[in-house]
Amino acid sequence: MQLSQSFTLPSGVELKNRVLMAPMTNFLSNDDGTVSLNELDYYARRSGGVGAVITACANVNAQGKGFDGEIGVDRDDLIPGLRKLAASIHEQGSKAILQIYHGGRMCPPHLVPHNETVSASAVAPEREGAVTPRALTEEEIEQTIFDFGEATRRAIEAGFDGVEIHGANTYLLQQFFSPHSNRRDDQWGGNVRDRMNFPLAVIESVTKTVTAHANEPFVVGYRLSPEEREEPGITMEDTLQFIDVLTEQNLDYLHISLSQFHQPSMREKNPTKPVIKQIAERAGQKVPVMGVGSLYTPNEVEEALETVPLISLGRELLIEPDWMQKIESGEAIRTKMPKEPSEDILIPEPMWTKIMSVPNWIPVEK
């Protein structure tokens, strides 16, 4: 099976197989951003089989905290807990990748200083109850770029094998790339190429930090959402231009955030080719592409690996923590979540209640 084959990333880090755990918000950290015991148990339970675990997003500064119970990487005093998290993943035999991000205008006001959300421009997201953010100043933009570098340094000191820069799912890096949320007329906004400047500066800050602080190969990945529904919003043509530039940034992978792996464009009137195929073809052999989205069975993953070399599993690893081990031993796997929590699945509260309360988000046994 392709999924069991090892894969060496451009940095030289070798993954023992081609399946990774996708980053998923778990609401399990302590209120001060420190790692909780429940969180350590949750990750350890899902480590071992997969080639690498990509953690839930960790905010790089206080202004970027987007969830209750979110892990933090914005202060040096968080490093000891992060070190325990990396170790809990390593002890089971998987690589550990910390996802780093800033929530921008999507942050709940009660989680950020002065109840003040920020973004590229003072444009509210199109959702019920949304507040209008304040546009970041030039100085704040430079500070945030620096903060991504500092977050990377902390990840290195904590023993992680890499970081994933979260440029997807409507958060700050995407907000700078989006013509909906970025109406700036300085160097950080304008045409599609100029709207890339902030994410590219963040990538540069991260990669320079890796060069300065990492003593061995260290993974730098980038996650992106290829389209937006808003008008104006990110189009596939915007994203394909972005892919052209991202493939020149010495990244280890591009992680394409999709709800369905094979989904077509949600903006084009008569879409013909799945989004992931368009991106994989555009990236070519320059940088590995990772896909995700409603893949549950080994056959589905094998088919997906015909398009991209790496796959991340999210919901399926919540349902079946031993997915990879059972595939390799020939055991039957679960593809639907039991109605009640169990020690075997090990999804602590409040995560269990939150994921089960979202209609149709996860398949559930009848």
- Give the end-to-end CA distance of the chain in Å, rounded to a whole number: 31
Q: Assess contact for 352 and 341: CB atoms under 8 A.
A: yes
The rounded distance, in Å, linking the Cα atoms of 55 and 36 is: 14
Q: Which of 155, 275, 176, 266 is nearest to 221 (CA)?
A: 155
Catalytic residue among 43, 101, 171, 222: 171
171 catalytic? Reply is yes
Phi, psi of 17 (to 5 degrees): -155, 180
Secondary structure class of 108 (helix, strand, coil): coil
Alpha carbon separation from 52 to 13, 68, 135, 219, 271 (Å, rounded)? 11, 25, 36, 11, 33
Q: Which of 85, 89, 58 is nearest to 71 (CA)?
A: 58
One-letter amino acid at 52 equals A
Alpha carbon separation from 263 to 66, 109, 268 (Å, rounded)? 27, 33, 12
294: left (phi over 0), alpha (psi -120 to 50) or beta: left
Residue with tokens 């709800």: 259
Q: Assess contact for 318 and 345: CB atoms under 8 A.
A: yes
Q: How many CB atoms lie within 10 A of CB 50?
A: 29
Q: In the structure encoding, which two tokens stand for residue 277, read together?
A: 């195929």
The rounded distance, in Å, linking the Cα atoms of 192 and 174 is: 12
Q: Which of 147, 164, 75 is nearest to 104 (CA)?
A: 147
Write out the catalytic residue numbers: 171
